Amino acid sequence: MSFISILTFVDKQLETDDIYTFHFSIKSKLNHKAGQHGLFVLPRFYRPHPFTLSSSPDEKYVSFSTHTATGSKYKNKLLKMEPGEKMFLFGPVLNFTFAKDQTKHVFLAQGIGITPFRSMLAYAKAHQLPVTTTLIHVDGKGHAFKELTSQSATTSFYPTNPDEFRELVGQQDINQTFYLSGNPKFVSATKDLLTEIGVQTTSIKTDSFLGY
């Protein structure tokens, strides 16, 4: 784990709906694994805010993506950042990363929960990892990173409602490693669904999605 890194804001990019990706440069390479979080601190905002690093460890910029239409002072400041402004990163933290010695991975995402999978899929493609990846991303307001994830995953699905999502999950081979990322209600319900169809709890990894 790194300790504190100083990030320099480069630019922001609208993904879909109110989701923006914020890109930062860093002087020394950040030592992180695809799928991890960071704790981000803005000057004059003393409480750190957790975000998943949506960037892959190989990419030029350190990036995170988030909903911005929340009305929070923190998000409003993010939207108003100018190139060259600084931000601090504590981390990276957590172990929502590729399970060791596993080759079949199923990524189950809801909404902004796609961010760790964007990082993991980009990394797997860049390094040609000997794995198969299935992505099922449910979102009724547009699928952020659809172009990249559809090109990087072995198989990908983009349902727009819970019924479609559950049907697709039920069609998966239970002998794989399942990763869950989204709001707490989604994670809990999806974990219950997986155990109902016979997936072992040891084969389920959940992203707590801090600060969702």
pLDDT tens string 7-16: 999 999 999 9
Domain with CATH 2.40.30.10 in the chain: 4-93
Rounded mean pLDDT, 132-139:
98
Contact 131, 152 (CB under 8 A): no
Residue 45 has pLDDT above 80, yes or no: yes
CA distance 108 to 75: 26
Q: What are phi and psi of 105, to 5 degrees?
A: -130, 135
The CA-based dihedral angle spanning residues 135, 140, 141, 147, taken in that order and rounded to the nearest 10 degrees:
20
Which CATH class for the 4-93 domain?
mainly beta
Residue 1 has pLDDT above 60, yes or no: no
What is each CA distance from 40 to 5, 32, 100, in whole angstroms?
10, 14, 28
pTM: 0.94
Supply the pLDDT for residue 71: 85
The CA-based dihedral angle spanning residues 161, 99, 53, 66, taken in that order and rounded to the nearest 10 degrees:
20
The CA-based dihedral angle spanning residues 107, 108, 113, 115, taken in that order and rounded to the nearest 10 degrees:
20
Instruction: Say which CATH architecture domain 104-206 belongs to.
Output: 3-Layer(aba) Sandwich (3.40)
Residue 93 has pLDDT above 90, yes or no: no
Within its chain, how far is the Cα of 181 from the centroid? 7
